Structure 1
């Protein structure tokens, strides 16, 4: 039984899953919208939303917590100075997932994940 085992494995070991989440979060926060598979988008959503909620603190500690996961200084600055203040009045739900169809090669469901 899998009681208390949240999250998807995505056919990766734990370090590869962490690297994938960090890379996709960086790309999403830099671009504002990325296309990926539906399962990866569903895994990315809580990861990014927790980062934005942390960044809403606005102090040095919040910046360092965000910088632990986002290793691009420009993206960290963008999150702290542009993205987090934009959602100051919003208490969650910073991202939207839109299904875009199936991938031609393996027929997996594709999705756009974007910042609201």
Structure 2
């Protein structure tokens, strides 16, 4: 039974998984959108929302916790100034995940995860013909394409 199993292990031991999530959260804060596998995006969404909530709190202990997780002081400053101000009135759900394509080589399902209300929004809806198949276009930054 899968009861009370709160997170995906992603085929890694604890140290590797935490290191990967720290890198991914830092990249998401820096670039405001990244492309990764669907399983990693689901795990990242949970951690990124918690980091933005820490930024919204803005107190000393929250900054210490964020410093221990996010890599780099400029990213922590961005988290506590720019992102905290952007999501001041939003009670949660700071990230959006959209499936994008299947990765060439191993056919792993990929997804783009981005910060909601980002001025660098990458995710765009596709015309109706592709929308029926659940496909979407990704901006040229990620090199995605539709059939």
Deviant stretches of 4+, over 2 Å: none
Query: What TM-score comes out, normalization by structure 1 length?
Result: 0.96
Q: Does 1:20 align with 2:20?
A: yes
Query: What TM-score comes out, normalization by structure 2 length?
Result: 0.76
Report the equivalent of 2:128.
Answer: none
Higher helix share: 1
Task: Name the CA distance, whole Å, in 1 between partners of 2:30 and 2:100.
Answer: 21
* Bigger Cα Rg: 2
How far the C-alpha of 1:91 sits from its partner, in A, is 0.2
The number of residue pairs the alignment matches comes to 116
How far the C-alpha of 1:61 sits from its partner, in A, is 2.0
List runs of 5+ in structure 1 lacking aligned partners. none
**Deviations 1:55-106 (CA, angstroms, capped at 9, x unpaired):** 1111222211211111310100000010011100000010000111101111
Report the equivalent of 1:44.
Answer: 44
Q: Which deviates the most, 61-70 or 10-19? A: 61-70
Which protein, 1 or 2, shows the higher relative CO under an 8 Å CA cutoff with sep ≥ 6? Answer: 1
How far the C-alpha of 1:3 sits from its partner, in A, is 2.3
RMSD: 0.9
